[in-house]
Amino acid sequence: MTLKEEFATRNFSIYAQWLGILSMILCFALGIANIFTFDFFIIPFSVICLVSSFVILFIEVPLLLRICPTSATFDNAIRRISTNYMRAAAYAVMAIVQWLSIIRYATSLIAAAVLLTFTGLCYLLAGIKGQAFVGSKTLGGAGVAQMIV
Protein backbone atom coordinates (compact mmCIF):
# COMPACT_ATOMS: atom_id res chain seq x y z
CA MET A 1 0.00 0.00 0.00
CA THR A 2 1.45 3.34 -1.02
CA LEU A 3 1.34 6.46 1.09
CA LYS A 4 -1.42 7.89 -1.10
CA GLU A 5 -3.51 4.74 -0.62
CA GLU A 6 -2.95 4.89 3.14
CA PHE A 7 -4.32 8.43 3.31
CA ALA A 8 -7.27 7.45 1.10
CA THR A 9 -8.46 4.90 3.68
CA ARG A 10 -9.87 7.74 5.82
CA ASN A 11 -8.55 6.01 8.93
CA PHE A 12 -7.75 8.62 11.56
CA SER A 13 -5.04 6.45 13.11
CA ILE A 14 -3.00 6.78 9.89
CA TYR A 15 -3.44 10.56 9.98
CA ALA A 16 -2.49 10.60 13.65
CA GLN A 17 0.59 8.48 13.05
CA TRP A 18 1.89 10.91 10.44
CA LEU A 19 0.98 13.88 12.64
CA GLY A 20 2.96 12.10 15.36
CA ILE A 21 6.02 12.03 13.12
CA LEU A 22 5.61 15.76 12.49
CA SER A 23 5.19 16.26 16.24
CA MET A 24 8.40 14.35 16.85
CA ILE A 25 10.37 16.53 14.45
CA LEU A 26 8.88 19.72 15.87
CA CYS A 27 9.42 18.65 19.49
CA PHE A 28 13.05 17.84 18.75
CA ALA A 29 13.71 21.16 17.03
CA LEU A 30 11.84 23.29 19.56
CA GLY A 31 13.28 21.40 22.51
CA ILE A 32 16.79 22.21 21.37
CA ALA A 33 15.95 25.79 20.39
CA ASN A 34 14.30 26.65 23.71
CA ILE A 35 17.11 25.23 25.84
CA PHE A 36 19.16 28.19 24.70
CA THR A 37 16.69 30.75 26.05
CA PHE A 38 18.55 30.46 29.38
CA ASP A 39 15.28 30.97 31.23
CA PHE A 40 15.19 28.59 34.20
CA PHE A 41 11.41 28.26 33.89
CA ILE A 42 11.44 27.28 30.19
CA ILE A 43 14.47 24.96 30.21
CA PRO A 44 12.67 22.05 31.98
CA PHE A 45 9.81 22.27 29.50
CA SER A 46 12.21 22.24 26.57
CA VAL A 47 14.01 19.21 28.00
CA ILE A 48 10.65 17.45 28.41
CA CYS A 49 9.80 18.38 24.83
CA LEU A 50 13.11 16.93 23.66
CA VAL A 51 12.53 13.70 25.60
CA SER A 52 8.97 13.54 24.22
CA SER A 53 10.37 13.55 20.69
CA PHE A 54 12.29 10.33 21.37
CA VAL A 55 9.31 8.70 23.08
CA ILE A 56 7.15 9.60 20.06
CA LEU A 57 9.76 8.11 17.75
CA PHE A 58 9.54 4.75 19.51
CA ILE A 59 5.73 4.91 19.71
CA GLU A 60 5.23 5.68 16.03
CA VAL A 61 8.01 3.59 14.49
CA PRO A 62 7.66 0.15 16.10
CA LEU A 63 10.54 -1.21 14.04
CA LEU A 64 12.95 0.73 16.25
CA LEU A 65 12.04 -1.35 19.30
CA ARG A 66 13.58 -4.33 17.51
CA ILE A 67 16.74 -2.73 16.21
CA CYS A 68 17.67 -0.28 19.00
CA PRO A 69 19.18 -1.54 22.24
CA THR A 70 16.65 -0.47 24.86
CA SER A 71 15.74 -1.90 28.24
CA ALA A 72 12.93 -4.39 28.71
CA THR A 73 11.13 -1.92 30.98
CA PHE A 74 11.16 0.77 28.29
CA ASP A 75 10.02 -1.72 25.63
CA ASN A 76 7.10 -2.87 27.80
CA ALA A 77 6.07 0.71 28.54
CA ILE A 78 6.06 1.61 24.84
CA ARG A 79 4.22 -1.60 23.88
CA ARG A 80 1.44 -0.73 26.35
CA ILE A 81 0.73 2.35 24.24
CA SER A 82 -0.72 0.33 21.38
CA THR A 83 -4.42 1.19 21.13
CA ASN A 84 -5.90 4.39 19.79
CA TYR A 85 -7.15 5.42 23.24
CA MET A 86 -3.78 4.80 24.92
CA ARG A 87 -2.00 6.78 22.21
CA ALA A 88 -4.53 9.60 22.58
CA ALA A 89 -3.88 9.63 26.33
CA ALA A 90 -0.10 9.65 25.85
CA TYR A 91 -0.30 12.56 23.43
CA ALA A 92 -2.72 14.37 25.76
CA VAL A 93 -0.22 14.15 28.62
CA MET A 94 2.61 15.42 26.39
CA ALA A 95 0.39 18.22 25.08
CA ILE A 96 -0.73 19.31 28.57
CA VAL A 97 2.89 19.56 29.70
CA GLN A 98 3.70 21.79 26.74
CA TRP A 99 0.57 23.89 27.28
CA LEU A 100 1.79 24.46 30.84
CA SER A 101 4.97 25.95 29.43
CA ILE A 102 3.08 29.13 28.50
CA ILE A 103 2.16 29.91 32.11
CA ARG A 104 4.94 32.45 32.44
CA TYR A 105 5.02 33.67 28.84
CA ALA A 106 4.45 32.23 25.40
CA THR A 107 7.37 30.62 23.62
CA SER A 108 7.64 28.59 20.46
CA LEU A 109 6.81 25.49 22.54
CA ILE A 110 3.18 26.40 21.95
CA ALA A 111 3.57 25.06 18.38
CA ALA A 112 4.54 21.66 19.80
CA ALA A 113 1.56 21.82 22.16
CA VAL A 114 -0.83 22.52 19.29
CA LEU A 115 0.51 19.72 17.09
CA LEU A 116 0.55 17.23 19.98
CA THR A 117 -3.07 18.18 20.70
CA PHE A 118 -4.11 17.60 17.09
CA THR A 119 -2.33 14.24 17.07
CA GLY A 120 -4.10 13.16 20.25
CA LEU A 121 -7.44 14.28 18.84
CA CYS A 122 -6.91 12.22 15.69
CA TYR A 123 -6.20 9.12 17.78
CA LEU A 124 -9.25 9.88 19.91
CA LEU A 125 -11.43 10.23 16.80
CA ALA A 126 -10.12 6.90 15.51
CA GLY A 127 -11.06 5.30 18.82
CA ILE A 128 -14.51 6.89 18.92
CA LYS A 129 -15.24 5.88 15.33
CA GLY A 130 -14.20 2.32 16.17
CA GLN A 131 -11.38 2.30 13.65
CA ALA A 132 -8.75 -0.26 14.45
CA PHE A 133 -5.21 1.03 14.77
CA VAL A 134 -3.50 0.60 11.43
CA GLY A 135 0.22 1.21 11.38
CA SER A 136 1.65 2.81 8.29
CA LYS A 137 3.75 0.36 6.29
CA THR A 138 6.10 3.21 5.50
CA LEU A 139 6.85 3.67 9.21
CA GLY A 140 7.45 0.02 10.00
CA GLY A 141 3.97 -1.29 10.69
CA ALA A 142 2.07 -4.23 9.23
CA GLY A 143 4.85 -6.76 8.89
CA VAL A 144 7.85 -4.67 7.95
CA ALA A 145 9.57 -5.58 11.23
CA GLN A 146 9.16 -9.28 10.50
CA MET A 147 10.74 -8.83 7.04
CA ILE A 148 13.85 -7.27 8.60
CA VAL A 149 14.34 -9.78 11.44
The predicted structure's pLDDT at residue 34: 92
Nearest alpha carbon to residue 130 among 13, 25, 29: 13
| Out of 3-7, 109-113, 140-144, least confident range | 140-144
Q: State the number of CA atoms in the 13 A half-sphere of 28 facing the CB.
A: 11
pLDDT band of 142, cuts 50, 70, 90: low
Q: What mean pLDDT is predicted for residues 34-60?
A: 91
In DSSP notation, 40-89 reads TTHHHHHHHHHHHHHHHHHHH-THHHHHS---HHHHHHHHH--SHHHHHH
Distance CA 124, CA 3 (A): 22
Q: What mean pLDDT is predicted for residues 25-39?
A: 92
Task: Read off the pLDDT of residues 49-87 as tens digits, 9 standing for 90 and up.
Answer: 999 999 999 888 877 878 888 888 888 888 888 888 999
Highest mean pLDDT among 18-22, 60-64, 134-138: 18-22
Q: What mean pLDDT is predicted for residues 32-59?
A: 92
Q: What mean pLDDT is predicted for residues 17-42?
A: 92
- Output DSSP code: residue 138: G
Q: Give helix 109-128 / helix 84-100 axis angle, nearest 10°.
A: 160
The answer to whether 46 touches 86, Cβ cutoff 8 Å, is no
The predicted structure's pLDDT at residue 63: 78
Whether residue 103 has pLDDT greater than 50: yes
The whole-chain average pLDDT of the chain stands at: 84
